[in-house]
Amino acid sequence: MASKVVDIHTHVYPPQYVSILKSRSKVPYVRDTTPGQPSRLIILPGEDDPSSETTAKGRPIGPEYYDIAKKIEFMDTHGIDISVISLANPWLDFLDRDEAKGLARDVNDAINSMCDAHPGRLFAFGALPLSAPSEVIVEEIHRLPTLKYTRGIIMGTSGLGNGLDDPELDPVYQALEEENMTIFLHPHYGLPKEVFGPRAAYYGHVLPLALGFPLETTIAVTRMILSGVFDRFPKLNVLLAHSGGTLPFLAGRLESCILHDAHYSGPAAKVESRRSVWDILKTNILLDAVVYSELGVRAAATASGADRVLFGTDHPFFPPLEPAEGEEQEQKWLSVTTNYKAIREAFGPEKEQAEAVLGGNAIRLLRLTTD
């Protein structure tokens, strides 16, 4: 029997979330900008800055963002058996503290119901009401196991507002560890726009998406490591988007900087029981394979082990561009075929490792069965 293909990085906005985006006038929002053209989804910080000369204000939003039937169609076109769907950025981060609890429940229930409508095809990462008090967040985490298809939560890098090394997050990490809910850590905020310089607007979304996103993830998880989150919660599982940003490449430098820092590792630092970056990478971290190159997949597999790297697509982001006049639209998305090829080439004759990355690892690590 052919082994299963599982996509663990694939997003959806349930209809009630889209309604909220449509009712807003500040980022994030959905807006009809040009008559006769699809609405646009404007979610990234600064994306609607009126002083910017960019033409890249948001992206068109069609049913592939909210209609689960389109997800199943996409899966069938690309040979994907199972998808672990998650709310897309910016999740519930922008909500007032009073709204967050109710919408977290609604969104988590809605996404779980989408899974229920396609048994065997869909599982889910929930979302947390991070702007609510921590008891409310913890309560929602303890409710997640009652949702049959939910195996973890997706979140960004801001935590309760002070990042993921905030000690106030300990009850949240503790509840996630207790419930065996994997954190899918995903970027949204990027880097301050100044680092991309005054010509950035001419480059569309290339700089924030190709570099801002992965560096944001790298910094966030590094802050978790440095603050001892994985020492305090040794069973916490964190799935890093985009193959861990640059963490696999920079782990050696990070470990070396730690060992050579008198303030951090010296006699006064009280971190003698500190776990190494390498140990955490192989024990707590999972890496998606959404990196679009053989080199990136090999780095991920070398850092965390080929048994901890998981195929993903980032659907519905990165659709093919509109074809030139007279040319036909490709059925298969280049963003997906590139990742399939990268996995095949990274493992060459080690076909079982490629199969594990394509699906077996996700089924085992995220418990993708319902009996």
Choosing from 6, 30, 88, 107, the residue that interacts with ligand URA (CB under 6 A) is 88
Based on CB atoms, which residue is closest to Zn ion, 7 or 314?
A: 314
Q: Would you count residue 209 as binding ligand URA (CB under 6 A)?
A: yes
Between the CA atoms of 100, 102, 104 and 107, what dihedral angle is there, to the nearest 10 degrees? -130
Chain positions 260 to 279 lying near ligand URA, rule: CB under 6 A, are none
Q: At closest approach, how far in Å is the CB of 69 from Zn ion?
A: 20
Residue span 311-330 as binding mask against Zn ion, x where in contact by CB under 5 A, dash where not: ---x----------------
Amino acid code (one letter) for 144: L
- Contact 370/148 with Cβ under 8 angstroms? yes
Number of residues that bind ligand URA (CB under 6 A): 8
Q: At closest approach, how far in Å is the CB of 91 from Zn ion?
A: 11
By three-state DSSP, how is residue 75 classified? helix
- Contact 312/8 with Cβ under 8 angstroms? yes
Strand-pairing partners, residue 238, are 183, 285
Based on CB atoms, which residue is closest to Zn ion, 138 or 296?
A: 296
Residue 280 binding result from ligand URA, Zn ion, none, given CB thresholds of 5 to 8 Å by partner type? none
Choosing from 314, 342, 356, 358, the residue that interacts with ligand URA (CB under 6 A) is 314
φ, ψ at 238 (rounded to 5°): -125, 120
Structure tokens at 344: 């095949």
Q: At closest approach, how far in Å is the CB of 16 from ligand URA?
A: 20
Q: At closest approach, how far in Å is the CB of 209 from ligand URA?
A: 6
Amino acid code (one letter) for 89: N
Q: Would you count residue 288 as binding ligand URA (CB under 6 A)?
A: no
Q: At closest approach, how far in Å is the CB of 263 from Zn ion?
A: 36
CA terminus-to-terminus distance, the chain: 20
| 365 CB-near residues (< 8 Å, 6+ apart) | 182, 237, 286, 308, 310
Based on CB atoms, which residue is closest to ligand URA, 78 or 274?
A: 78
Closest CB to ligand URA belongs to which residue?
317
Q: At closest approach, how far in Å is the CB of 212 from Zn ion?
A: 13
Q: Going edge to edge, which strands form the sheet with 59-60?
A: 29-31, 40-42, 59-60
Choosing from 13, 74, 149, 317, the residue that interacts with ligand URA (CB under 6 A) is 317
| 331 CB-near residues (< 8 Å, 6+ apart) | 77
Q: At closest approach, how far in Å is the CB of 11 from Zn ion?
A: 6
Based on CB atoms, which residue is closest to ligand URA, 107 or 280?
A: 107
Based on CB atoms, which residue is closest to Zn ion, 47 or 314?
A: 314
Structure tokens at 329: 């639209």
* Angle CA 14–18–20, to nearest 5: 120
Q: At closest approach, how far in Å is the CB of 88 from Zn ion?
A: 7
Strand-pairing partners, residue 127, are 154
Based on CB atoms, which residue is closest to ligand URA, 13 or 230?
A: 13
Q: Would you count residue 89 as binding ligand URA (CB under 6 A)?
A: yes
* Secondary structure (DSSP) of 304-355: H-GGGEE----BTSSPPPPPPTTPPPPSS-HHHHHHHHHHHHHHTT-HHHHH
- Contact 121/158 with Cβ under 8 angstroms? no
Amino acid code (one letter) for 47: E
Number of residues that bind Zn ion (CB under 5 A): 1
Q: Which stretch binds Zn ion (CB under 5 A): 144-152, 274-282, 292-300, 309-317?
A: 309-317
What residues line the site for Zn ion (CB under 5 A)? 314
Binding site for ligand URA (CB under 6 A): 11, 43-44, 88-89, 209, 314, 317
